Structure 1
Amino acid sequence: MIEVYNHYDGELPLLISVPHDGCHLPNDMRERMTSIGLAVPDTDWHVAELYDFARELGASMQVANYSRYVVDLNRSATDEVLYPGQLVTGLCPVQTFSGEDIYATGGVTEDEKARRIENYWQPYHAHIEATLAAMQAKHGYALLWDAHSIPSVVPRLFEGELPALNIGTNDGKSCAPSIEAAIVRAAKNNLYDMAVNGRFKGGYITRQYGDPDNGVHAVQLEIAQRAYMDETTIVFDAEKATHLRVSLREMLQAFLDAAR
């Protein structure tokens, strides 16, 4: 069995979580899926590669290997609604973002959902918890950056074209205001359009682990995929990525500096 996630331990109190970069699907699931589902179109393509510079900063990284169609690691195990009034994609999705069926036959039974939570969801979150606890024990605080991307236009999820950079702090609840402000200032140093706590305010990971009163500050960054790849061919664009990494590096450094 392929590992649920890959991880790298850095020396600084910063963990970068990449929960939607994985593409692997269990064989028993593949047998029941449509061709659209097998293409895993809602993957956060190339996000781990985009952040590969973060090790040089001394950050830890945790990258999921399995598709969000197996289980969405950025949803609660009880599948609570994160954005009331918006389309609910679910803990174990049965449709793509564009509304196409993921399964040719059947859906996901409650027993199957429970197994996926036990086999994939729980190990990922247990490691986040352990990593943050170790950082707090060593440094007195911990920083969590939840890294995501999404197509620039997804009519079922939001209107129009998404800004390139979408910073989410659960409306200021998941990190200290001074830290959020520092990250926003760093983002504004570059030419990308941006939003703060707009359509994407932070998913389960940001909301669950962000606890600024107890020294854990969490931020989600949702990047519009046009900023670093060709959205039609899904090919990584090295030139675009080089420019974007400048902004990402500045934002992460601001995160670290503001928390010290």
Structure 2
Amino acid sequence: MQNASYGQLHRGDAPILLAAPHTGTVVPDELLAHPAWRPVDGRLSDPAGVALLAAARERGVTSIAGHLHPCVIDFNVALDNRPLSQRLNRTGLCRTHTSRGEALYAPGSEPSEQEVGERVLRYWRPFHDALTGELLRLRDLHGNVLLLVSHASSWLSPYRSHAGATDCNAGTHQGASCDRRLVSALTEAVQAAGRSWVVNGKLADAFAAQRYGLPESGIHVIEVEVAGRWRSELEAQEHSQDADMRAIFDALGAALKSLPPADARFDSRLVADGPSA
């Protein structure tokens, strides 16, 4: 396990990279000086991401996880602070309110552009530098690789509605970020576990799928939010979901092997440009 400023990197050789940008629970000491942050410290936003991280380690899957609470800085929001997805009614590279609508700063003391920039340099860029490096490393080993992104999405928004939520929400930038056979493998594994699912609903245009999805060059991206009854069970820790998560990795790994190798010329934008702002 490799530790860094953004969190942890666990390196494997399977053709899948799991990114868990919303599993962090830590609030830096300087923010804990604000009383409103103290209840946030230790509050988990993405329990499914924790279960996926455990399954990834068992399956030799590389994983990158943030250790900061996503209200401090959200690794799955672009640097121009646009919403994670146009269908999710919230923005927040560095949020000013919690998912419960609680103000994190006194009026007028919200983080300045300089403070946000410091968090970007200290945490956001190292996270994405590591993610880019691991994608390129795995692409050198395999004809196709998949970036699977687990996140809390609407659970971080005070405007969310959980009524009738689908168990598994998947996003592929309207099909542009991955081969559809990978989506079929995911949804079939989810359905076999008795879960409901939707593809390209509220996560249709999320950041990581837009930024990193280059299926023609062998880099595929699927974003996943576990919600509904599935999330409730994980929150209550009624029983282990590791078998379901392992089944997802097994299905995705088998689907990757069935794909023809991508063009060996490989699109070098990830190296040349770095993470999109």
Secondary structure at the aligned position of 1:247 is classed as helix
Aligned position for 2:237: 236
Question: How far is the alpha carbon of 1:35 from its aligned partner?
Answer: 5.1
Q: 1:259 and 2:256 equivalent? A: yes
Supply the RMSD in Å over aligned alpha carbons.
2.7
Amino acid in the other structure paired with 2:91: T
Q: TM-score when scaled to structure 2?
A: 0.81
Amino acid in the other structure paired with 2:102: E
Q: TM-score when scaled to structure 1?
A: 0.86
Aligned position for 2:267: none
Q: Is the CA contact 1:148–1:221 (under 8 Å) kept in the aligned structure 2?
A: yes
Q: 1:206 and 2:209 equivalent? A: yes
- Provide closer, same or farther for how the CA distance between residues 200 and 84 of structure 1 changes in structure 2, counting only shifts above 3 A: closer
Q: 1:14 and 2:11 equivalent? A: no
- Provide closer, same or farther for how the CA distance between residues 33 and 124 of structure 1 changes in structure 2, counting only shifts above 3 A: farther
Aligned position for 2:127: 124
Question: How far is the alpha carbon of 1:153 from its aligned partner?
Answer: 11
Q: Is the CA contact 1:77–1:91 (under 8 Å) kept in the aligned structure 2?
A: yes
Q: Is the CA contact 2:86–2:205 (under 8 Å) kept in the aligned structure 1?
A: no
Secondary structure at the aligned position of 2:151 is classed as strand
- Percent identity, please: 24
Secondary structure at the aligned position of 1:145 is classed as strand
Aligned position for 1:102: 104
Q: What does 1:108-257 correspond to in 2, within 5 Å?
A: 108-149=111-152, 156-158=159-161, 160-201=163-204, 203-224=206-227, 226-227=229-230, 235-237=236-238, 239=239, 242=240, 244-257=241-254
Question: How far is the alpha carbon of 1:136 from its aligned partner?
Answer: 0.8
Amino acid in the other structure paired with 1:227: W
Aligned position for 1:29: 31
Q: Is the CA contact 2:27–2:41 (under 8 Å) kept in the aligned structure 1?
A: no
Mean CA deviation greater in 131-140 or 182-191: 182-191
- How far, CA to CA, are the matches of 2:57 and 2:77 in structure 1? 26
Q: Is the CA contact 1:11–1:60 (under 8 Å) kept in the aligned structure 2?
A: yes
- How far, CA to CA, are the matches of 1:254 and 1:47 in structure 2? 18
- How far, CA to CA, are the matches of 1:161 and 1:197 in structure 2? 17
